Homo-oligomer: A and B are copies of this chain.
């Protein structure tokens, strides 16, 4: 048995490791501080596909092809594919499955979907069950903007609190067995937290309480504090969300120090690239993990990472109907271990 329930929605994981990761981004993501960690940068946001939606699909297709290649396996070795995106009816994930033809589990948890997928895969993998699961998430700036807000051609002014939906995809091949240096040690699935925010242009504030709830539950279940991790990455709270998380955490006795950073805050040069609060979208945390975060663990620069993607679970319809925004966060903690060695 590879998993043990250690708290509400929390599971200790044994013998699950990362065979490979891949990340592909758009030009703006390439120009950001993490640009060099992407495997590939598209020369334009419409590099492939006839529409923004087709471009998003091509982005996830290419990233999945790449991660299978980097894992040095074939598609036939992938037992299950799990993934998600922001588009209505999950069309990027679903349509891209026409190409890979592997059994598909569609997931939706807005921008938290990548850690939902990592968590689900980690709890399922075993020597007798699925032995290899591909987890992926994608977003595309233009496709998301015209679906959730306005077509970018309108040239509307963005609020100071707005996030920039990343054009990016990340993918991971998780396998049963501790064959690879980076492994998943625990996961905590989030519950919905709704603090009553109704502002779709300030997702960071809406999501911070959900991040806090999941972080506290993960730490309690695993008997850790944030100081036990070399790094803690949320995604995608941005500048404002991290400030609120620090404030709320402080009130609850959680020491949110400088080791706590955010994928959305890290992906861009915030001022120079004019992204306001930071990056967002399922592809933001997925690509930051698959590029930068994984590399830090892989080379042993970090030995332990807590990765907590966050999602705002509203739709344009619920916003127009005056609803508040339920949010969620799913946590995954990962460790680097020396070949043949054990963690901790």
The answer to the question of A314 belonging to the interface, with a C-beta cut-off of 8 Å to chain B, is: yes
* Complex interface residues of chain A between 308 and 334 (CB less than 8 A to chain B): 313-318, 321, 323, 326, 328
A103 to B191, Cβ gap below 8 A? yes
* Complex interface residues of chain A between 41 and 58 (CB less than 8 A to chain B): 50-51, 53-54
> Which residue in chain B gives the minimum CB-CB distance to A328?
B104
**Most chain B beta-carbon contacts within 10 A, residue among A89, A188, A189:** A89
Collect the chain B residues with CB atoms within 8 Å of residue A128's CB. Answer: 1, 3-5
> Within the assembled complex, what's the spacing in Å between the Cα atoms of A4 and B130?
8
> Within the assembled complex, what's the spacing in Å between the Cα atoms of A126 and B124?
11
B8 to A313, Cβ gap below 8 A? no
Q: Pick the contact of A98 from B94, B321, B326 — CB < 8 Å?
A: B326
B313 to A80, Cβ gap below 8 A? no
Chain B's nearest CB lies how many Å from the CB of A324?
Answer: 9
> Within the assembled complex, what's the spacing in Å between the Cα atoms of A110 and B326?
22
Collect the chain B residues with CB atoms within 8 Å of residue A5's CB. Answer: 79, 128-131
Q: Pick the contact of A91 from B107, B130, B317 — CB < 8 Å?
A: B317
Collect the chain B residues with CB atoms within 8 Å of residue A105's CB. Answer: 107, 109, 116, 120, 189
> Which residue in chain B gives the minimum CB-CB distance to A189?
B103
A116 to B106, Cβ gap below 8 A? yes
Chain B's nearest CB lies how many Å from the CB of A39?
Answer: 25
The answer to the question of A95 belonging to the interface, with a C-beta cut-off of 8 Å to chain B, is: yes
> Within the assembled complex, what's the spacing in Å between the Cα atoms of A80 and B328?
14
Q: Pick the contact of A3 from B120, B129, B317 — CB < 8 Å?
A: B129
> Which residue in chain B gives the minimum CB-CB distance to A9?
B103
What is the count of identical protomers in the complex? 2
Chain B's nearest CB lies how many Å from the CB of A94?
Answer: 4
A313 to B108, Cβ gap below 8 A? no
The answer to the question of A123 belonging to the interface, with a C-beta cut-off of 8 Å to chain B, is: yes
> Which residue in chain B gives the minimum CB-CB distance to A129?
B3
Q: How many residues of A contact B (CB 8 A)?
A: 61
> Which residue in chain B gives the minimum CB-CB distance to A101?
B191
Chain B's nearest CB lies how many Å from the CB of A254?
Answer: 20
B190 to A53, Cβ gap below 8 A? no
With A4-B128, A89-B110, A106-B116 as given contacts, are A101 and B317 in contact (CB-CB < 8 Å)? no
* Complex interface residues of chain A between 102 and 146 (CB less than 8 A to chain B): 102-110, 113, 116, 120, 123-124, 126, 128-131
B317 to A98, Cβ gap below 8 A? no
Collect the chain B residues with CB atoms within 8 Å of residue A113's CB. Answer: 106
> Within the assembled complex, what's the spacing in Å between the Cα atoms of A144 and B194?
25
> Which residue in chain B gives the minimum CB-CB distance to A97?
B192
> Which residue in chain B gives the minimum CB-CB distance to A3?
B129
Collect the chain B residues with CB atoms within 8 Å of residue A123's CB. Answer: 124, 129-130
Collect the chain B residues with CB atoms within 8 Å of residue A53's CB. Answer: 317-318, 321
> Which residue in chain B gives the minimum CB-CB distance to A312?
B89
The answer to the question of A292 belonging to the interface, with a C-beta cut-off of 8 Å to chain B, is: no
12 A-B residue pairs with CB within 8 Å: A3-B126, A11-B129, A54-B321, A80-B189, A88-B89, A88-B315, A89-B314, A97-B191, A98-B192, A102-B191, A103-B191, A123-B124
Additional pairs, 15, CB under 8 Å, beyond known A50-B321, A89-B318:
A1-B126, A3-B129, A5-B128, A11-B130, A54-B321, A97-B191, A97-B326, A97-B328, A98-B192, A101-B191, A103-B188, A103-B191, A104-B189, A108-B108, A120-B124
